Amino acid sequence: MQLLHQSVGSKTFWHKRRFSPFSRILPIMPKTVHIIGHRNPDADAICSALGYEAYKHAKGEEHCRAARCGNSNARIDAILKRFQVRLPRFIGDVTPKVHDVMTTDIHKVTVDATCSEALEIIDHYGIRVLPVVDDKDHLKGTLSIFDLGDYFIPKPRQERRMRHVFTSISDIVRSLKAEVINVVDEDRSEDLFVRVGAMDIRSFGRRYTEDETLARQSVIVVGDRYDIQQRSIMLGMRLVVITGGLPVDDDVVEMAKERGVSLIVSPADSATTSWIIRSAGRVDRVMTTDNIESFNSEERLSTVRRKVANSRAVAYMVMDEHERLVGVFSKTDLVKPIETNLILVDHNELSQAVPGADQVNIIEVVDHHRLGNPPTQQPIFFINRPLGSTSTIIADLFQRDGIEPSPAIAGVLMGGIISDTLNLRGPTTTDRDAELLSWLAGIAQTKADDLAELIFNSGSVIISHEPQDVIRSDMKTYTEGELTYSVSQIEELGFDNFLKNREKIEQALEEIRQADAYFFSALLVTDINTQNSLLLVNGDEQFVESITYPNRDAPDIFELNGIVSRKKQLIPYLTSLIRAHVGGTEPQQPVAEAPVETEA
């Protein structure tokens, strides 16, 4: 089935059409694929997303777009400003919602449409429900074939109701597509009764002479019977409709004008004309206005599915905050596959991914961290390499395929590598990081040391952010068995700013741990100059006491000399502590590695 747009006059309608073998199949444009890093993104998460977008575009995949699920920071801003690259689009949640499945090209009818126009669309296109709106798109009701059936097919004994229609002459003209000869007060809506002038002239009009009011409410449908035409006009009928597209004698026209009788010519025969006139009533008198089920476009599909599980409604209306109709969906739409596609970069654990990632399609992962693979419906393209940064992996893809990135993208990838490897001095640095940083530097015409100085001098996170934001700026969540914990990391030039603001940061760390019910929360503060770190921990008292590093000024602050990598050094150590805490095994001490000596 295909949703199509149909217009009749100023009215628009929602309908479906079945494809025929002769239907023209238009090319389907690929849906946007979001290349997105982890929550609270660091420079590598942003830079690798931008780099992978450029790589995909170079391979002809223009539908792939970089995105982010957190705020930028001073270092990211410094890198992007240096190479004049825009920050990726923010996407804070990809949980499937109503707007992902609803039809936005809505086909609706306004309250001033006639039943004839509505029925023509319903019948021709086989649809079941038409939304009815006012001129500002506020939903006023819905119209179905059942509503119209009850109107058009009253009980046989209700003779007066079978003749009755509340409409205007202008609506009758529009419904019949009639030729206007003479009309009087044509826009007035009124109660009218349809009769066919098929009887002999001797009996025609007998009732009208007894009740003049009856004539003023009557619509006479007549063919080429000159006598009935004349008699109807003389009796002062509200409207005379001559059928079959037949010509009208001049004297009949003149008489109608003299007596103020409306006169039109219908192209249809008398039986059809009579039926169409009854359908000229406006939809606002027929439509359903009660118990219309509507939703907001931001409601989650999981919630909506529960709400409509026992509903018998054919279609559901979607409203915006101003109560305007913005979409339509059916139960069938709720079971269709979700078309949101993600490529995860710089992470592969759902706890770190954009909210809702577990309910959409993850089609690729490009990462350099430990495996915490999200489950997928189908096999996917997965790159996980033990390199210093995800930006290194992206640069390697460019070089491997013989594609040279633009100077701006080369510079951005440099920023990701320098930030994540501490300018090739961190313990996660590999020879490949150094090789590719040198290659990118030549393309970007930028020295690695100069860019590193710009990045690391771009401002203290502690000074420029509130304590909660300091912790959440690069916070990652991990799960070990049934325990969940968080580890944040910031890089500073020395520990002075941290020690001056220690108490506020300690309080913020405790608030975050309690709010998110973590087993413990930790903040690793790394001094870029000395390659040493301080670890602030808040959590289970017995666990904190099991940390084997020396304290610094307080029982919850530990000196980690030579420890600079959260991924390679700290997380394995903390994991062993948790296992020892739960199962009684001996924890493993992380190895403090000497800085890697390489040339950029």
Reduced 3-state DSSP string for 99-136: HHCCECCCCCEECCCEHHHHHHHHHHHCCCEEEEECCC
Q: What pLDDT does residue 305 have?
A: 94
Which 8-state DSSP code applies to residue 519? S
DSSP conformation class of 300: B
| d(C-alpha 388, C-alpha 427), whole Å | 8
27-31 mean pLDDT: 61
Give mean pLDDT, residues 560-588. Answer: 85
Positive or negative torsion for Cα 113, 119, 124, 130: positive
Give CA separation, 290 vs 142, 143, 255, in Å. 9, 12, 48
- For residue 451, what pLDDT is reported? 96
Spatial CB neighbours of 261, under 8 Å, sequence gap ≥ 6: 182, 184, 232, 233, 236, 237, 238, 239, 240, 255
Rounded distance, CA 162 to CA 496, Å?
Answer: 90
**Beta strand 341-345 with 361-367: parallel, antiparallel or unpaired?**
parallel
The pLDDT value given to residue 188: 94
Q: Which amino acid is at 263?
A: L
pTM, to two decimals: 0.67
Q: Is 309 exposed, middle or buried (0-12, 13-18, 19+ CB in 10 A)?
A: exposed
| pLDDT attached to residue 230 | 93
| CA pair distance 459, 136, nearest whole angstrom | 50
Q: How confident is the model at residue 586 (pLDDT cuts 50, 70, 90)?
A: low
DSSP tally for the chain: helices H, then strands E: 23, 25
Distance CA 22, CA 136 (A): 38
CA distance 130 to 106: 10
Specify the CATH number of the domain 178-266. 3.40.1390.20
CATH of segment(s) 33-96+340-456: 3.90.1640.10
pLDDT in tens, 101-147: 998 888 788 998 888 888 887 777 777 888 999 999 999 999 888 88
Question: What residues does CATH 3.10.310.20 cover in the chain?
Answer: 463-583
When mean pLDDT is compared over 4-13, 116-125, 144-153, 571-580, the highest value belongs to 571-580
35 vs 474, more confident: 35
Q: Which residue has the tokens 């090739």?
A: 424
Q: From start to end of 330-466, where are the E strands?
A: 341-345, 361-367, 381-384
| Of 13-22, 279-288, 329-338, 373-382, the least confident | 13-22
Q: What Å distances lie between residue 236 and 49, 214, 345, 495, CA to CA?
A: 79, 10, 81, 100
pLDDT score of 2 more than 80: no
pLDDT category at 458 given cuts 50, 70, 90 is: confident
What phi and psi values does residue 94 have, to the nearest 5 degrees?
-115, 15
For the chain, the 3-state helix, strand and coil shares in percent, each to the nearest 5, are 35, 25, 40
The pLDDT > 70 percentage for the chain reads 90
Q: What is the pLDDT of residue 116?
A: 84
- What is the per-residue pLDDT for 23? 34
| 247-258 b/e (C-beta count within 10 Å ≥ 16 → b) | ebeeebeebbee
Largest CA distance in the chain: 119
Which residues, other chains included, contact 29 with Cβ-Cβ below 8 Å and sequence gap of 6+? 63
CA–centroid distance for 440 within its chain: 37
Amino acid code (one letter) for 597 = E
Report DSSP state, residue 28. Answer: P
The tokens for 512 are: 């975050």
pLDDT at residue number 339: 87
Range(s) of the chain covered by CATH 3.90.1640.10: 33-96+340-456
Identify the CA nearest to 368 among candidates 398, 345, 351.
345
Return the H-helix or E-strand segment holding 240: strand 239-242
CB environment 41-63: b (16+ within 10 A), e (fewer):
bbbbbbbbbbbbbbbbebeeeee
Q: List, for residues 508-567, the tens digit of each pLDDT value.
A: 999 999 999 999 999 999 998 888 999 999 999 999 999 999 999 899 999 999 999 998
Nearest 5°: phi and psi at 80? Answer: -65, -35
CATH of 463-583, one of 3.20.20.20, 3.10.310.20, 1.10.357.10, 3.40.640.10: 3.10.310.20
Distance CA 435, CA 414 (A): 11
Q: State the pLDDT at residue 34.
A: 98
- Give the amino acid at 452: A
Q: Is pLDDT of 157 > 80?
A: no
Work out the angle between the directed axes of helices 74-82 and 448-456 (0-180°, nearest 10).
140
Beta carbons of 90 and 69 less than 8 angstroms apart: yes
What is the band of 13 on the pLDDT scale with cuts at 50, 70, 90? very low
In which residue ranges of the chain is CATH 3.40.1390.20 found? 178-266
Residue pLDDT, tens place only, 184-197: 999 999 999 999 98
Q: Quick one: pLDDT band at residue 574, thresholds 50, 70, 90?
A: very high
Amino acid at 443: I
CA–CA gap between residue 221 and residue 549 (Å, rounded): 101
Task: Read off the pLDDT of each residue in 260-283 and give the average, rounded to a whole number.
Answer: 93
- Residue 568 per-residue DSSP state: I
For residue 12, the cross-strand partners are: 7
- As a whole number, the mean pLDDT across the chain is 87
Question: Would you tell me how many other CB atoms lie within 10 Å of the CB of residue 594?
Answer: 9
Backbone angles phi, psi at 8, to 5 degrees: -130, 110
pLDDT over threshold 50, residue 9: no
pLDDT of residue 346 exceeding 90, the answer is yes
Average pLDDT (398-427) is 95
Band (pLDDT 50/70/90 cuts) for residue 327 is very high
pLDDT band, residue 447 (cuts 50/70/90): very high
